[in-house]
Structure 1
Amino acid sequence: MTDDAMGNFPVPELSDLPEDIKERIESETERAGFTPNVFSAFAYKPSHFRAFFEYHDAIVDESPLEREEIEMLIVTVSGVNDCLYCVVAHGALLRVYADAPKLAEQLATNHRSADLSEPHRAMLDFAVTLTETPGKVDERDLERLREAGFSTEEIWDIGSVVALFNLSNRMATLADIRPNEEFYTLGR
């Protein structure tokens, strides 16, 4: 864990963290080959770390959505929210899962300019609406997703990803979480 993982709060020492959090960070570090800065940053508040990553893991591991679709949602929402950390980190994951080197940048700047299927366009249009004007989301928005072929469970999960990453984007901005250098070249 590096001190430059975030700029606005202190990064805890790995040795000072509760055992379960140390194990999770060590596991992620081994898997990725580096410690993603979001783990170092969220470790500042162990109870928040546990809750955030438990919800994240439930969304990723227990969804009928493809991982590529989850990353498409994250990158699009993070672009709308001007969240550098999530655009860079999840853009790298999107490049890997979608095997599409240009897609992340297209989604982060304007998903409407990307070469997308109609269902994915509907999914990302909804994600932007839920992000920018959540009070205007109504049954018609859900019906558009159904018409695009999404099941009730998939619609719930689309909303869950969008909601979690609106929170994540705001925390990354508050904490000034910085992208790891490794993310910039991953999947290129």
Structure 2
Amino acid sequence: MSQPPISRYPIPRVEDLPADIRERIQAVQEKAGFIPNVFLAMAHRPAEFRAFFAYHDALMEKDSGLTPAEREMIVVATSGANDCQYCVLAHGAILRIRARNPLIADQVAINHRKADINPRERAMLDFALKISLNAREIEEADYQALYPHGFSDEDIWDIAAIAAFFGLSNRMVNFMSMRANDEFYLMGRLPKAAN
């Protein structure tokens, strides 16, 4: 049985892409051992690829008051709420690895209020989901609920920006019918084999 296409839009050949995009994809492939389908699907439009990943990196790869695992939790929870299978699977794999917890991604994707997370993480995800689903209802009380957990105003910006950016990502992925890589399903669930 052949694999379904990874996107309803054409996937360019890596060797035909502009050098900067080709190098970025090859670096990801070298690190991960495969090319996540989002890189191939977004390469259909090089200018948008560059803008998308520049903002992604600005949010997800910087030093901030949010840990790498907390940032991934936001992605997984909001992507679950937006029914984005690709982002739940891809970022769920990253979350399992960053949190060193094989159970956390599934729990957070389905219902963070029933997940084995701490009060800080719950408050963060409550806010992120409100941004994702009902941003027009944000009020001062929502900020005040975060301060006792050690979040600064800059951290709150990061929570909101990650939720908003992945709202865009979720919608793009769903409209493209982007398929998740098979590799994501097992990543971070089982211990790595000894080298």
The answer to whether the superposition gives a TM-score over 0.5 is yes
- In the alignment, what sits opposite 1:121? 122
- 2:54 maps to 1:78: no
- Aligned counterparts of 2:5 and 2:27: Cα–Cα separation in 1: 21
Counterparts in 2 of 1:166-185, with a 5 A limit? 166-185=167-186
- Quote how far apart the aligned CAs of 1:148 are: 2.1
- In the alignment, what sits opposite 1:33? 33
Q: Which AA in structure 2 matches 1:166?
A: G
- Quote how far apart the aligned CAs of 1:5 are: 2.2
- 2:92 maps to 1:88: no
Q: What are the superposed Cα offsets for residues 8-58 of structure 1, whole Å, 9 maximum, x if unpaired?
A: 211111122111000000000111000000000110110110001011111
- In the alignment, what sits opposite 1:142? 143
- Aligned counterparts of 1:128 and 1:143: Cα–Cα separation in 2: 16
Alignment root-mean-square deviation, CA: 1.3
Q: Which AA in structure 2 matches 1:79?
A: G
- 2:134 maps to 1:155: no
Q: Which AA in structure 1 matches 2:137?
A: K
- Quote how far apart the aligned CAs of 1:162 are: 0.5
Identity %: 49
- Aligned counterparts of 1:3 and 1:133: Cα–Cα separation in 2: 34
Q: What are the superposed Cα offsets for residues 43-97 of structure 1, whole Å, 9 maximum, x if unpaired?
A: 0110110001011111122241111001100000000001000000010001100
Higher helix share: 1
Contact kept in structure 2, 1:9 and 1:175, CA below 8 Å: yes
Contact kept in structure 2, 1:63 and 1:154, CA below 8 Å: no
Q: Which AA in structure 1 matches 2:31?
A: R
Which 4+ residue blocks in structure 1 deviate beyond 4 angstroms? none
Q: Which AA in structure 2 matches 1:48?
A: E
- In the alignment, what sits opposite 1:100? 101
- Aligned counterparts of 1:79 and 1:187: Cα–Cα separation in 2: 18
- Quote how far apart the aligned CAs of 1:171 are: 0.4
- Quote how far apart the aligned CAs of 1:3 are: 8.2
The SS at the match of 1:29 is helix
Contact kept in structure 2, 1:78 and 1:108, CA below 8 Å: yes
The SS at the match of 1:12 is coil
Counterparts in 2 of 1:23-62, with a 5 A limit? 23-62=23-62
- Quote how far apart the aligned CAs of 1:4 are: 2.5
- Aligned counterparts of 1:25 and 1:3: Cα–Cα separation in 2: 21
Give the number of equivalent residue pairs. Answer: 186
Q: What are the superposed Cα offsets for residues 111-141 of structure 1, whole Å, 9 maximum, x if unpaired?
A: 1110111111000001111111111011211
Q: Which AA in structure 2 matches 1:176?
A: S
Q: Which AA in structure 1 matches 2:139?
A: D
Q: Which AA in structure 2 matches 1:51?
A: A
- Aligned counterparts of 2:185 and 2:5: Cα–Cα separation in 1: 16
- Quote how far apart the aligned CAs of 1:181 are: 0.4
Which ranges in structure 1 are unaligned for 5 or more consecutive residues? none
Task: Out of 67-76 and 10-19, give the one that drifted further.
Answer: 10-19
